[in-house]
Amino acid sequence: MSPTTSGPVRVTVWNEGVHEARQHPEWIGEIYPDGMHGAIAAGITEHLGERAVVRTATLASEPDHGLTEEVLAGTDVLLWWGHAAHEQVSDEVVARVHRHVLAGMGFVGLHSAHYSKIFTRLLGTTCSLAWRNEGERELVWTTDPSHPIARGVANPIVIEKQEMYGEPFGIPHPDEVVFLSTFAGGEVFRSGVTYQRGQGRVFYFSPGDQEYPVYQHPDVRRVIANAVVWAHRPEVERLSEEQLGCTNPPRRF
Amino acid sequence: MSPTTSGPVRVTVWNEGVHEARQHPEWIGEIYPDGMHGAIAAGITEHLGERAVVRTATLASEPDHGLTEEVLAGTDVLLWWGHAAHEQVSDEVVARVHRHVLAGMGFVGLHSAHYSKIFTRLLGTTCSLAWRNEGERELVWTTDPSHPIARGVANPIVIEKQEMYGEPFGIPHPDEVVFLSTFAGGEVFRSGVTYQRGQGRVFYFSPGDQEYPVYQHPDVRRVIANAVVWAHRPEVERLSEEQLGCTNPPRRF
Amino acid sequence: MSPTTSGPVRVTVWNEGVHEARQHPEWIGEIYPDGMHGAIAAGITEHLGERAVVRTATLASEPDHGLTEEVLAGTDVLLWWGHAAHEQVSDEVVARVHRHVLAGMGFVGLHSAHYSKIFTRLLGTTCSLAWRNEGERELVWTTDPSHPIARGVANPIVIEKQEMYGEPFGIPHPDEVVFLSTFAGGEVFRSGVTYQRGQGRVFYFSPGDQEYPVYQHPDVRRVIANAVVWAHRPEVERLSEEQLGCTNPPRRF
Amino acid sequence: MSPTTSGPVRVTVWNEGVHEARQHPEWIGEIYPDGMHGAIAAGITEHLGERAVVRTATLASEPDHGLTEEVLAGTDVLLWWGHAAHEQVSDEVVARVHRHVLAGMGFVGLHSAHYSKIFTRLLGTTCSLAWRNEGERELVWTTDPSHPIARGVANPIVIEKQEMYGEPFGIPHPDEVVFLSTFAGGEVFRSGVTYQRGQGRVFYFSPGDQEYPVYQHPDVRRVIANAVVWAHRPEVERLSEEQLGCTNPPRRF
């Protein structure tokens, strides 16, 4: 009952880190000298300061892609960016992340993470969409300015250059649609949606292609920081694997 | 269990009929010689033929705005267009329509009906929105092409000139969001949403300003005809006023 | 972004106060010497202490049933108990409360408030149900133990004697079903449901008939205190009447 | 647009078929001489007659558990019963069924199928629950008597002996909660819930343990037959694997 006594939110920003390799044909080092994970982490720290402790992890950086049981047990909210290497993420790690989300860890899927193993596992559908990469202007509108994830955010957010993501988006009916985007080409997209899965809160936010400096955008950074706060459930105890299973109560009532 | 044996769907298209009066400063007779209700009714008949029996009613045409108990009892789906005269609709008629929707009558709210007494009564919220009337192009996208209301409809529907309706739209979380519109000015709107209220199915569809010939548009007509079929529940018995109230079952189980 | 700096939640417990009159044939003074509103208020204070400032109001106590513009403007969360005198609540006060909920005030409807003018206005449906008053045991189960309203609450809550409220409950699809009750007679009821209406959070909780000391029950008190915290939105600015209306943005994007 | 011209609904009832083997320690042949799948299939035929063509398949009966691409392509609605052998269902078959559901095939999960690979894959959560097998009376109440799956069904359905399934049920917020069950022991369960996944309609119905003759119960049979009709989408074209993926539209609007 006393959120004021809880410590800072422990955030892990996961990025496959493929476009960050200097030898990659679509190297993004000029836009993101610290990688997209670095920019995302910096944006969170910018907004939350000491209220967050942020670490990063990438596909190849460490064993288990940096997502060991210990790391996840110490993570309140996990952010996920992936695009070119979804298939390289091990099924074992996906199952582990999945379990932690159901047990109470927050999860924020970013941009092309819509097609990641973990996101489609959480949602149960294709999560496919229409796309076109021509650097179009995206306007991100909020349907509910009172939503905690939209707090303090311009309405609309104007992103000058972005990949277009359009409907139909193959997701289940969202619990909430916080943001709707329109594109210069005329398309529309449910760009900010929430779900509860088990005890975990899930938010998907589509802005953020690797080719454009979207994670430098002040409003995009604010949305992500807000989402971290929203997905964090300091008063909810993480369930053990056993507690996630069925129970067999004796007759009592 | 046998929809094939039920008779045609009985449709009543209600229109306040104010812009149709020749003396009105914004007379629309050149676009709609038979009134908007006439055009809407013609579109339904065009698509459903003998599967629908369509009548129209207007604010001043008959006692009770043409919406007597007898008319409503004989209506499977009621369509509603209103704009300038919401306040002239009697509270008694609103209560009657409300009761019939809860009892099982379908209801389709069109365009500025978002602010009608009956629609806000059914939804419980302001239903306010952003608007701008500059004859902008509207694109109506479907989020779920398999939805019965989207059947056979172009995706997107292109409406060359329309009043802009934009978010935030002050409605409860919809049961389903079938259509999302974008406008030349960049805005977005949840332009096709469904709700169940009691036994009644409610659909709101925003295209359709009086200044533009939107109800002549083939795809708009198809959406409305689809919505009539969707809102019609031939196998659901209309509840009486008494059946809508509380019950007091004796102890039995 | 800093809930810790906001002041205490300002709570108003409204009760029609009819059963509290000594001359009432079903006088409840022995169970509730301070009225049901007194017991509800005491339960909130018991749990929230200085984190809440609680006042009460009744139908006849003051002008406007104690719910003036000033009182509502100073209320973060309003609780409502009514049963015998729903029709005596003035339409003007109902419209005022409705506006404040849409503008951001929390609302908690208790027990027979399901049939109050304000609750049916917010929900848009009959809100009718099945009932039987035989002092049956009610078990209140939570479907989501991680929900903030269920925090620290026994699962199930055991209420030895209660009026039975049963399905079908004539409400729209809830945003969330937090509690489901079963009764000794075998019935079931969605006894704890949430809705968002405009910027306001709405919770309905069915336990609490006037004939049984339900508002003395420790777990019932905890649920209500939790609901107050949940419905309070300290970071959401209350909207003015004008802000609740439509807007007419010039063309910009 | 013309459901009357579509042929009969093609139904496949899948059952792991383990308890049906005479050598099984919990052989159920006296209750279900034709297996549970036989009883379920008979119940559907009893209600739908020539409007349905029903086949059955079991884990070991045929290659791919009888669920080849050809069988699924010719199945409008698949029913699933599993309990002891979830892990024996091949991942390849699960992926194939999953794809067909997203593409438009209806899916009805029965009883212990809550823990099947395909059901948890569709829902994305644990789907765990509380259970106790003491042959308790179950009452199945409908929250919405107008729902097509509840049509013509007693309210409540009384099942004299059943395994108890209780909350919390680890599922996402359902699109609709059609049935709620109470048990003699006092528990409650969301026993009939619907979801849309892609173009497919999913219904889960909990009554039906192998030890009790639940699939002989007239009302249970009617619910299942209703669910088959509801999950069948004759006007929705099954999507190909390619159509389920992302699209890359050229700039057009």
pLDDT in tens, chain D (253 residues): 334 457 999 999 999 999 999 899 889 999 999 999 999 999 999 999 999 999 999 999 899 999 999 999 999 999 999 999 999 999 999 999 999 999 999 999 999 999 999 999 999 999 999 999 999 999 999 999 999 999 999 999 999 999 999 999 999 999 999 999 999 999 999 999 999 999 999 999 999 989 999 999 999 999 999 999 999 999 999 999 999 999 999 988 8
pLDDT at B238: 98
Instruction: Count CA within 13 A, CB hemisphere, residue A162.
Output: 30
Examine the pLDDT at B2 and tell me if it is beyond 60: no
Three-class DSSP category at D51: helix
Distance from CA of D241 to the nearest CA of A (A): 10
- CA distances from residue D23 to D18, D19, D20, D27, D88 in whole angstroms, order as listed: 10, 9, 9, 7, 18
Identity of the residue in D1, D146, D148 whose CB atom sits nearest the CB atom of B104: D146
Considering the entire predicted model, what is its pTM?
0.97
CA distance C121 to C98: 8
Contact state of D156 with C186 under an 8 Å Cβ cutoff: yes
What is the pLDDT, as a whole number, of residue B86?
Answer: 97
Asked if C235 and A148 come within 8 Å (Cβ–Cβ), the reply is yes
Determine whether the interchain pair C126/B244 forms a contact, defined as Cβ–Cβ distance below 8 Å.
yes
Chain D nearest CA to A188, separation (Å): 12
B115 or B22: which carries more pLDDT confidence? B115
Q: What is the mean pLDDT of chain A?
A: 95
CB contact under 8 A, C249 and B197: no
Residue A200: its pLDDT value, please?
Answer: 98
Q: How many whole angstroms separate alpha carbon B227 and alpha carbon B149? A: 5
**Which residues of chain A have a CB within 8 Å of the CB of D91?**
none
Under an 8 A CB cutoff, do D167 and C141 touch? Answer: yes
Nearest CB among C173, C180, C186 relative to D139 is that of C186
Q: What pLDDT was estimated at residue A61?
A: 86
* Closest listed residue to residue A171, CA positions, set D127, B147, D199, D174: D199
Subunit contact A236:C146, Cβ cutoff 8 A: yes
Q: Do D235 and B148 touch (CB under 8 A)?
A: yes
User: Tell me, what's the pLDDT at A6?
Assistant: 72
In chain A the domains, ranked by start, together with CATH numbers, are 8-127+191-231 (3.40.50.880)
Output the pLDDT for position D252: 82
Q: Categorize the per-residue pLDDT at B223 as very low, low, confident or very high, splitting at 50, 70 and 90.
A: very high
pLDDT, mean of residues B10-27: 94
Contact B132 C186 (CB under 8 A): no
* Strand-pair partners of A178: none
Instruction: Using CB atoms, pick whichever of D139, D142, D167 lies closest to residue C143.
Output: D167
Per residue in C112-161, pLDDT (tens digit) is: 999 999 999 999 999 999 999 999 999 999 999 999 999 999 999 999 99
Q: Answer whether D209's CB lies under 8 Å from D163's CB.
A: yes
Nearest CA in chain A to C253: A139
Nearest to D79 by CA among D242, D185, D231: D231
> Among A21-25, A148-152, B231-235, which stretch is predicted with the lowest mean pLDDT?
A21-25
Backbone angles phi, psi at A44, to 5 degrees: -65, -45
**Residues β-bridged to residue A141:** A180
Rounded Cα–Cα distance for residues C59 and D228 (Å) = 52
Asked if B98 contacts B66 with a C-beta cutoff of 8 angstroms, the reply is no
Question: What are the residues of chain D with a beta carbon less than 8 Å away from any beta carbon of chain A?
Answer: 102, 115, 121-126, 128-132, 134, 166, 170, 172-173, 175, 185-187, 195-198, 244-253
pLDDT at D207: 97
| pLDDT of res. C133 | 95
CB contact under 8 A, A188 and B186: no
Q: Could you tell me whether strands C176-183 and C130-142 are parallel, antiparallel, or unpaired per DSSP bridges?
A: antiparallel
Long-range CB pairs of C28-37 (<8 Å, 24+ gap) are C28/C210, C28/C211, C31/C210, C31/C211, C31/C212, C31/C213, C31/C216, C32/C210, C32/C213, C32/C215, C36/C81, C36/C208, C36/C210, C36/C215, C37/C13, C37/C81
Residue reference for tokens 């003998």: B50
How buried is residue B161: exposed, middle or buried, by Cβ count under 10 Å (0-12/13-18/19+)?
A: middle
Instruction: Give chain C as a 3 state SS string.
Output: CCHHHCCCEEEEEEECCCCCCCCCCCCCCCCCCCHHHHHHHHHHHHHHHHHEEEEEEECCCCHHHHCCHHHHHCCCEEEEECCCCHHHCCHHHHHHHHHHHHHCCEEEEEHHHHHCHHHHHHHCCCCCCEEEEEEEEEEEEECCCCCHHHCCCCCCEEEEEEEEEECCCCCCCCCEEEEEEEECCCCEEEEEEEEEECCEEEEEECCCCCCCCHHHCHHHHHHHHHHHHHHCCCCCCCCCCCCCCCECCCCCC
Q: B114 to chain A nearest CA, in Å?
A: 16
Percent of the residues in chain C that have a pLDDT greater than 90, as a whole number = 93
Quick check: D229 and B199 CB within 8 A? Answer: no
- Partner residue opposite B168 with nearest CB, options A143, A169, A181: A143
- Cβ distance of B249 and C170 shorter than 8 Å: no
pLDDT value at residue C6: 73
How many Å apart are CA C39 and CA B224, to the nearest integer?
53
C110 vs C202: CA distance, rounded Å: 11
pLDDT score at B128: 98
Nearest alpha carbon to residue A71 among A49, A97, A45, A103: A97
Sign of CA dihedral A175, D103, B157, B205: negative
Residues in CB range of C243: below 8 A, 6 or more apart: C103
Nearest CA among D224, D201, D180 for reference residue D46: D224
From CA A205, how far away is CA A227, in angstroms rounded? 9
Question: What does the H/E/C string look like for chain B?
Answer: CCHHHCCCEEEEEEECCCCCCCCCCCCCCCCCCCHHHHHHHHHHHHHHHHHEEEEEEECCCCHHHHCCHHHHHCCCEEEEECCCCHHHCCHHHHHHHHHHHHHCCEEEEEHHHHHCHHHHHHHCCCCCCEEEEEEEEEEEEECCCCCHHHCCCCCCEEEEEEEEEECCCCCCCCCEEEEEEEECCCCEEEEEEEEEECCEEEEEECCCCCCCCHHHCHHHHHHHHHHHHHHCCCCCCCCCCCCCCCECCCCCC
Q: How far is CA D43 from CA D47, D112, D227, in A?
A: 6, 19, 12
Output the pLDDT for position A4: 43
| Chain C residues with beta carbon closer than 8 angstroms to that of A152 | 1
**Confidence check on the interface: ipTM exceeds 0.90, yes or no:** yes
Give the pLDDT confidence score for residue C85 in this predicted structure.
96
- Strands B200-205 and B188-197 come out as antiparallel
Alpha carbon of D246: minimum distance to chain A alpha carbons (Å): 5
Burial environment of residue C248 by CB neighbours within 10 A (0 to 12, 13 to 18, 19 or more): exposed
Quick one: pLDDT at residue D2? 38
Contacts of residue D85, Cβ cutoff 8 Å, sequence gap at least 6: D16, D18, D59
Q: Report how far residue B2's alpha carbon sits from residue D148's, in angstroms, rounded to the nearest whole number.
A: 12
Residues of C in contact with B131 (CB under 8 A): 246-248
**Helical ranges in D104-182 per DSSP H:** 117-123
d(CA B199, nearest CA chain D) in Å = 6
Q: What is the pLDDT of residue C61?
A: 86
User: With 50 as the cut, is the pLDDT of residue C2 above it?
Assistant: no
- D121-171 pLDDT, tens per residue? 999 999 999 999 999 999 999 999 999 999 999 999 999 999 999 999 999
State yes or no: pLDDT of A35 exceeds 70. Answer: yes
**Cα distance between residue D164 and residue D184, in whole Å:** 9
Spell out the SS3 assignment of A123-143: HCCCCCCEEEEEEEEEEEEEC
Per-residue pLDDT at D186: 97
